[in-house]
Amino acid sequence: MEMKQPMMMNREDGGEQEKEQESKENGRLVADSVVEKGQKSCSGPGQVSNGYPSTSPQSPREGAGAGTDRGSTPGAFRTLVVQQTSLDPPRETWSKKMDFLLSVIGYAVDLGNVWRFPYVCYQNGGGAFLLPYLLMAVFGGVPLFYMELALGQFHRSGCISIWKHICPIFKGIGFAICIIALYIAFYYNTIMAWALYYLLSSFRATLPWTTCNNKWNTPNCTHYLSTDFNVSWTDNSISPAEEFYIRQVLQVHLSPGLHQLGWVSWQLALCLLFIFTVVYFSIWKGVKTSGKVVWVTATFPYLVLLILLIRGATLPGAWRGVVFYLKPDWRKLLTTSVWLDAAAQIFFSLGPGFGVLLAFASYNPFHNNCYKDALVTSSVNCLTSFLSGFVIFTVLGYMAEMRQQGVETVAKDAGPSLLFIIYAEAIANMPAATFFSIIFFLMIIMLGLDSTFAGLEGVITAMLDEFPHLLARRREWFVLGLVCVCYLGALSTLTYGGAFVVKLFEEYATGPAVITVVFLEVIAVSWFYGTTRFCNDVQLMLGFAPGVFWRVCWVAICPCFLLFIIGSFLAFPPEVRLFDYLYPFWTTVLGYCIGVSSFICVPSYMVYHLVTTKGTFKQRLLKSITPEASGSSGPQRDTIVITNAV
């Protein structure tokens, strides 16, 4: 970005030979010409001495000499217009506004919208759950979403370097966010590798999870289709889709638990390698390339959801699933767990605190209306979750109709199992099963890719802004190294017991840590930086300041919202179970250690900053909570380069 500021300097043409002082390349020069007594300043169009054309033409008239061409008349005064230019390379920006919106929507709408929201909804009162969900969104999720977009757009920095402009002692939050993002990349992309395995297995006339005569099947495998009414379903029956997922894709039966993970599955290793290859070539050049990729990855899932919704609504028994999904149970609103699940769902769905919103917004024009963007993207996210519930439960009602069971029995699986077992089995029983299987698992992959693009871009932006001289010109190599680290870190999730590792990371390594980090972020912005200063920043960008509602949310409601989630998690730690494996106590300790390993960056950096800052302890503490004085906020951030000519 270049900011232009005209400087007027007087110069005399009294027959003396003109002298020019050479400007130092990329250096800061201060005008040192002497203004003689009696000289008058005037302005005129021309070209500045550093070669840039003047973009701020001035009036050629001055006082009594109005209408005289001062540039050609001997003895006249001429104006030297100097352009303000940044010494640093201009910051990359989005090619189009839609690139940004689709990137944010693609990040917020992920796999959790498809499998977690429908499950949480029917577990917590069906339609009655929508009330606490909407309340938590309005008073907690959307204000946090808006705050991060505004911070990133105003300070134009990643999640590490932004803290010197807010509250320097909290800079450890940025490092913690980067570590959390790495942990997510270690397991999240493995789920896409599973989906890719399913996608490749779908290119055949008969889907492999529809039959029981494969090498991985057991005697309990019960093969049935919608036309096999003579086949009875018992409590010991195992569907071919479940055995394909557990015994062929995951091969989890070859691992007794986390204490013995077994070998790496070479099929999944190749699938994950392909996923990371796509990720690398989508983000290696920055938002200019990833902004184009999301036009496909963010829009295609909506097309597939619409197709699956229409197909699901025409299946027999679909109405049973919809009734089960939306039938309200108002008594459950009296339980704490419903409100906790609503708060956790909206928080992890919108995704503040992962550094992504800061990074994406930092590439926006300074006066972009991020307030409108926050409302639009968060609304799209919530509506997508609600729509996904119909897509899932029409199929669950169909499965219940086939098995002659209740929907609650069929819907006992949550998480990835809901997609890879129940939904995969339902697709296999549809006409044109191959087509629906291909587009469904392609949708799963694209939903995951958007979130991976965003998560890694948050880390990349943070590191490039923090170490610009080291990494700015080596982005491609840095991204390659980051992707390689993520792939190596994900190898443990590709073992026979890799599904246990994925569950461990999901439950302990990221959730509590990122909620605590966001809590500290809100405290730092609202209480240390100050809502008044923050609202003034927003007014400078948008032309209007946030209202009382937003101020109250940032100061009081959002911290209480986050404390409620943290306190509930600590008071009622989840009992982690996957299939028939109950996680032992030592795995809980291991999970908390992984979570603390990221959060420990916050107090560690506080101690480091206080130790390395000069002065008395009071002076150090005061300097640590005071934003660094710099012109790096908004349009005033560029360095003025003044070149002088006599």
Concatenating the DSSP letter of every residue in 345-377 gives HHHHHH-TTSSHHHHHHHTS-TT--HHHHHHHH
Least confident span in 184-188, 397-401, 479-483? 397-401
Q: Beta 581-582 vs 577-578: how paired, if at all?
A: antiparallel
In b/e form, how buried is each residue of 363-396, taking b as 16+ CB within 10 angstroms?
bbebebbbbebbeebbebbbebbbbbbbbbbbbb
The percentage of the chain sitting over the pLDDT mark of 90, rounded to a whole number, equals: 42
State mean pLDDT over 382-398: 89
Residue type, 398: Y
pLDDT at 636 over 50: no
DSSP codes joined into one string, 473-537: GGHHHHHHHHHHHHHHHTGGGGBTTHHHHHHHIIIIIIHHHHHHHHHHHHHIIIIIIIHHHHHHH
d(CA 79, CA 65): 15
Token pair of 620 as six digits: 């150090």
| pLDDT tier for residue 155 given thresholds of 50, 70 and 90 | very high
E strands present in 248-377: none
Least confident span in 327-336, 400-409, 555-564? 400-409
451 assigned to a ligand binding site: yes
Token pair of 21 as six digits: 């002082």
d(CA 370, CA 356): 14
What's the pLDDT score for residue 228?
Answer: 60
pLDDT at 523 over 70: yes
pTM for this one?
Answer: 0.81
Using alpha carbons, list the distances in angstroms from residue 199 to 155, 258, 395, 415: 42, 28, 19, 19
d(CA 391, CA 377): 21
108 assigned to a ligand binding site: yes
| pLDDT tier for residue 175 given thresholds of 50, 70 and 90 | very high
State mean pLDDT over 510-532: 90
In this structure, the number of other CB atoms found within 10 A of the CB of residue 37 comes to 5
pLDDT at 75 over 90: no
d(CA 241, CA 255): 20
Using alpha carbons, list the distances in angstroms from residue 37 to 8, 10, 11, 526: 16, 11, 12, 52
CB 332 within 8 A of CB 478: no
What's the pLDDT score for residue 397?
Answer: 87
Where along the chain do its domains lie? 97-625
What's the pLDDT score for residue 233?
Answer: 64
Length of the chain: 646
Identify the CA nearest to 502 among candidates 493, 494, 489.
493
Give the count of alpha carbons within 13 A of 108, CB side only.
29
What's the pLDDT score for residue 231?
Answer: 65
| pLDDT tier for residue 6 given thresholds of 50, 70 and 90 | very low
pLDDT at 178 over 90: yes
> For residue range 419-433, what is the model confidence (pLDDT) as tens digits?
888 888 888 888 888
pLDDT at 638 over 90: no
> For residue range 590-619, what is the model confidence (pLDDT) as tens digits?
888 888 899 899 999 999 999 999 989 999
What's the pLDDT score for residue 169?
Answer: 93
Residues with Cβ within 8 Å of 436's Cβ and at least 6 positions away in sequence, in order, are 308, 311, 427, 430
> For residue range 450-474, what is the model confidence (pLDDT) as tens digits?
999 999 999 999 999 999 888 888 8
106 assigned to a ligand binding site: yes
d(CA 520, CA 173): 8
364 assigned to a ligand binding site: no
What's the pLDDT score for residue 3?
Answer: 40
d(CA 375, CA 644): 49
109 assigned to a ligand binding site: yes
Using alpha carbons, list the distances in angstroms from residue 551 to 355, 364, 546, 559: 22, 23, 7, 12
d(CA 338, CA 469): 49
DSSP codes joined into one string, 541-598: HHSS---HHHHHIIIIIHHHHHHHHHHHHHHS----EETTEEPPHHHHHHHHHHHHHH
d(CA 589, CA 594): 9
The position carrying tokens 């790495």 is 182
Q: Between helices 266-283 and 287-297, what is the axis angle to 10°?
A: 120
The position carrying tokens 């299946």 is 315
Question: Quick one: fold of 97-625?
Answer: Amino acid/polyamine transporter I (1.20.1740)
- State the sign of the Cα–Cα–Cα–Cα dihedral 195, 200, 202, 207: negative
